[in-house]
Amino acid sequence: MKVLVTGGAGYIGSHVVKLLGKLGHEILVYDNLSTGNRWAVKYGKLVVGDLADKKLLRSVFEEFKPDAVMHFAAYIVVPESVKKPLKYWRNNVANTLNLLEVMREFGTDLFIFSSSAAVYGIPESVPVDEEAPLKPINPYGETKATVERLLSDLARSGSGFRYVSLRYFNVAGADPEGEIGFAYPNPTHLIIRAVKTAKGEYEKLYIYGTDYPTPDGTCIRDYIHVWDLARAHADALSYLTRGGESEVFNCGYGRGYSVREVVDAVKRITGVDFPVEEAPRREGDPPALVAKAQKIKEVLGWEPRYDSLETIIKSAWDWERKFSQNQRL
């Protein structure tokens, strides 16, 4: 398959690009490098461009003629989305609309969307399945839910367009071969922030909110290894190629860990007893998000290989010890 990957120089996108390349697909990465890195693109060609630039996007489609598109080029920081909603709506929705319009112009019908568990907001029951109502509680989640509704409308339009939307829970870890990993400034994800604190990049780790209605008062999340997530994208591509109908899948392991449990695990695995300080809640954080993840296994045949909090943390820690921002960026 010829696959156009938007945002393919970023954290998740670069892992997917590497796996697709190893599987023999022909890749073109389209990325503005706002958070991505040239060196992270291990397969295919990189075109530096923004999805707001429809002229460039059209020229890429005309030359490359992709069979499918995987779309990762979104802003993802929940607290920032609360403070800068226009930035998130412009990029996450308007630019996705640009991409879809160009796909229709050139007859590219297969689309895999990088969505999020943030579309559920505060679910009525946990674990949450794909049939739960979409009730996002922050602008980031709203943008993802809006695009999902757009995709559903397009799939029902009779145009031949088909898609898979993958709702990520909390993604962490790094390439098992150590070639790529998380590599942009000011991370907000807990595991990444914690291993960087253990490494000494930050003086202390903050726990945002200790009064949630959970057993230890801190947020509970379902963590998934980035390489298992990459495999889910490859499986979704195979599914659509075989003629599969448009679908939505949760991407998680179906187990939740509290912030305190993750912090304790990071300290144990790294051997570093770094300082931790409690802080007020952040806007837009639900108390608990855990996936019901049977559907993706049953329909796509997806089988996780790194289903362990310890494995996720260890791979993230191994990458952090190897990675030098000054040398690589």
Catalytic site positions: 140
C-alpha to C-alpha distances, 324 to 10, 321, 327, 328, nearest whole angstrom = 17, 8, 5, 6
Strands (E), 148-246: 162-168, 170-172, 205-208, 220-221, 223-225
Q: Which of 162, 57, 54 is nearest to 113 (CA)?
A: 162
**Angle in degrees, CA 220, 174, 33, rounded to 5:** 100
- Widest distance between CA atoms in the chain: 58
Type of residue at 303: E
Q: Return the SS3 of 2.
A: strand
Kindly state the tokens that stand for 134.
Answer: 């979409």
| Side-chain-side CA neighbours of residue 214 (13 Å) | 22
Contacts of residue 153, Cβ cutoff 8 Å, sequence gap at least 6: none
Per the CB < 8 A criterion, the answer to whether 224 and 170 are in contact is yes
CB 213 within 8 A of CB 182: no
What are the backbone dihedrals phi and psi of residue 116, each rounded to the nearest 5 degrees, phi first? -155, 150
